[in-house]
Amino acid sequence: MTAVLDVAHVSLLFGGIRALDDVSLAVEQAGLVAVVGPNGAGKTSLLNCITGAYRASSGRISFQGADITDAPAHTAAKRGIARTFQHNELFPQLTTLENLLLGRQAALNYDLISAGLFLKRCRSWELEQREKIETVIEFFELEAYRKHSVGDLPYGVQKIIGLARAFAAEPLLVLLDEPSAGLNRQEKEDLARYLLRMRHEFAPTIVWIEHDMQLVRDLADQVFVLHYGKKLAAGSTHEVLSNPNVIEAYIGGSS
């Protein structure tokens, strides 16, 4: 099967620091790949290169067969790539509904003049987006928080809103940067349930940075391990998490 995302021999340098060193990763359509590794291993740098936030120093990145290595960050959403961040990066003064509507901006099909005059095309588009967002709110069980300012909501709810906003764009590829960080066990179980439902009902391709090995074991099809910017291992979840080098470098000693 042809990879929907293909990262080929990518390196990323910051002065004398090599954040990524000849990294290659292929992700198949509708796969769920967990990217794991110690802090500072280059996991977020990898996602930033895929989305265009960083420009790879060398190598090639392709998405659905198109070269996106040098594509600017603002084009990622239009290409069908959405992401979440380690820190929620929501607009705290806006409501849940308003934050989710921002996830639909890539579908915008009218200009500034039409918006200012609120022409029929603009009104029709807004109604269509509201309907789509209500579906997202129901999917992620956010009805109770629809009109609440995000900054007033619990951290765990904010994390789910961040995931929902990425999903609202109807992406082909979702990049998740530590979505379970800071969540308690019940919230992590809710997150796992949403991810499984997303895969079952909508089949996006997911690349997911994660430190919770139990979640990785339960959910991931494939695991990709980074260590000091280099690929340490890649393969099926059982194969990788049983790899002695992975255990020694990341999971820890005789664990």
Share of the chain above pLDDT 90, in %: 77
Assigned token pair, 178: 């530590």
* Mean pLDDT for the stretch of residues 21-34: 96
For residue 176, give every residue at least 6 positions away whose Cβ sits within 8 Å of its Cβ, in sequence order, or none.
Answer: 83, 84, 163, 166, 206, 207, 208, 209, 210
Rounded to an integer, what distance in angstroms lies between the CA atom of residue 208 and that of residue 73? 19
Mean pLDDT within 148-153: 97
pLDDT value of position 117: 60
pTM exceeds 0.85: yes
Q: Is 37 left (phi over 0), alpha (psi -120 to 50) or beta?
A: left
Instruction: Look at residue 105 in the predicted model and tell me its pLDDT.
Output: 80
The helix (run of H) or strand (run of E) holding residue 18 is strand 17-28
- What is the mean pLDDT of the segment spanning 79-107? 91
Band of residue 196 on the pLDDT scale cut at 50, 70, 90: very high
Report the alpha-carbon angle 94-189-28, nearest 5.
85
Q: What is residue 187's predicted lDDT score, i.e. its pLDDT?
A: 95
Structural domains of the chain in order of their starting residue, each with its CATH number: 1-80+173-180+205-255 (3.40.50.300), 89-170 (3.40.50.300)
**Whole-number pLDDT of residue 106:** 73
pLDDT of 252 above 80: no
Residue 192 confidence class, pLDDT cut points 50, 70, 90: very high
Residue 254: its pLDDT value, please? 45
Q: What is the mean pLDDT of residues 195-207?
A: 92
Mean pLDDT of the chain, nearest integer: 91
pLDDT at site 109 = 61
pLDDT at 119: 63
State mean pLDDT over 47-62: 97
- Report the share of the chain in percent with pLDDT over 70: 92
Provide mean pLDDT across the span 222-238: 96
Q: Are 67 and 154 in contact (CB under 8 A)?
A: no
* Nearest in space to 177 (alpha carbons), one of 96, 82, 106, 250: 82
